Amino acid sequence: MAFFVLLAHFIPALLGREVSIAFGTIGVSVFFILSGFVIAEALDVFYQNRPREFLKNRFLRLYPPYIFALAASIIIQFALVTLHKHGMTLQPGAPELSRMGHPRTFFFNVIALIDPRNVYANTSYTIYVRTLWTLVLEIEFYLIMLLAMRRKAFVMGAILLAYVLYLAVDLPPIFRIVGFAPYFLLGILIYHRKNVAAFVTAWVVVFHFFSDVGDTISTFIFIGTLVVFCVLARIEPKNEIIKKWDTRLGDISYPLYLNHFVIGMGLEAVYPKGYMTFLAGISLSLLFSGLAYAVVEPPIKRVRNRIRGHRLS
């Protein structure tokens, strides 16, 4: 799914082509469905009646890689400014950096996952990691799931009612998660094998997706991706090579999602658009994501395993 988002950003920025398929919306939508599935599984298997441990583990999953991506983004963008000041000509599309160096901008980006109010506000602060808004929705989903641990029927009913209101009323941006509620809910239902409810919710999701993008081809690609996800969710790979590659791709997906945009922006600012720049962007993003994983994840994974009470490979 991270690769879909990468394509949505890189095709226009590095290849110079118009994107007729909503790759970004497809990637984010399936990511939210996957998140519903994964969090439902985690709460069911590891965190029943353990809300504090759940929040600690999810914080460690999201925040350290985000801080690494934030630091990388700041360094790369300031490097572009420095090179430009020393006479290097930047390509059209170089970032606007007039407000980047303000201390409040740094502070806002560091605490954005903890205090996301400015993410929704119309502020002049630069958001260094452009996929930040989806992480904020993730955290809101975690909090809703914790409420649902004790009052499941009430909370789920409230979410569905809020979604109906979302369709009828122009809600403030902070309630943006309500619009994605069916996506998270679908992942939960797929995990719990509530087939009839999942089927109905899937149609709601497809309707919402089509209403959002207004494109038939993108909708069919989304449906196909959703079907593949549902099939893979029921299959445990037995081949060791497939399992190994599945694990490796899963390992770098989050760093790729966080870091690809600033890699692309750096290449867009320095090199002309074309296939070589596009392929370089993909290659550098994959390499840098592997580096980010190798630096950040091993020590964090050990702590997360202790909190979980179970070691995951």
The mean predicted confidence, pLDDT, of the chain is 80
Q: Which residues contact 57 (CB under 8 A, 6 or more apart)?
A: 42, 47, 304, 307, 308
Distances (CA, A) of 294 to 62, 245, 256, 267, 300: 15, 16, 13, 23, 11
Q: What does the block give as tokens for 103?
A: 């201390």
- The model carries a pTM of 0.85
3-43 pLDDT per residue, tens:
889 988 888 888 888 888 888 899 999 999 999 898 888 88
Given a cut of 80, whether residue 172 has pLDDT beyond it is no
C-alpha to C-alpha distance for 41 and 44, rounded to whole angstroms: 5
111-157 pLDDT per residue, tens:
877 766 666 555 556 778 888 888 888 888 888 777 776 666 555 66
Give residue for tokens 């879909």: 4
Note the pLDDT of residue 245.
66
The full DSSP string for the chain is -HHHHHHHHHIIIII-----S-HHHHHHHHHHHHHHHHHHHHHHHT-TT-HHHHHHHHHHHHHHHHHHHHHHHHHHHHHHHHHHHTTPPPPTTPPP-TTTT-HHHHHHHHHTTTSTHHHHS--S---SSTTHHHHHHHHHHHHHHHHHTTSHHHHHHHHHHHHHHHHHS---GGGHHHHTHHHHHHHHHHHTT-HHHHHHHHHHHHHHHHHHH--HHHHHHHHHHHHHHHHHHT-----HHHHHHHHHHHHHHHHHHHHHHHHHHHHHHHS-SSHHHHHHHHHHHHHHHHHHHHHHHHHHHHHHHHHHTS---
C-alpha to C-alpha distance for 191 and 213, rounded to whole angstroms: 27
Given a cut of 50, whether residue 230 has pLDDT beyond it is yes
Ramachandran assignment for 87, one of left (phi > 0), alpha (psi -120 to 50 degrees), beta (any other): left
C-alpha to C-alpha distance for 255 and 42, rounded to whole angstroms: 21
Q: Residue range 173-201: average pLDDT?
A: 81
HSE, side-chain direction, 13 A CA sphere, residue 303: 14
HSE, side-chain direction, 13 A CA sphere, residue 125: 23
Q: Are 90 and 110 in contact (CB under 8 A)?
A: no
232-277 pLDDT per residue, tens:
777 776 666 666 666 777 778 999 999 998 898 888 888 888 889 8
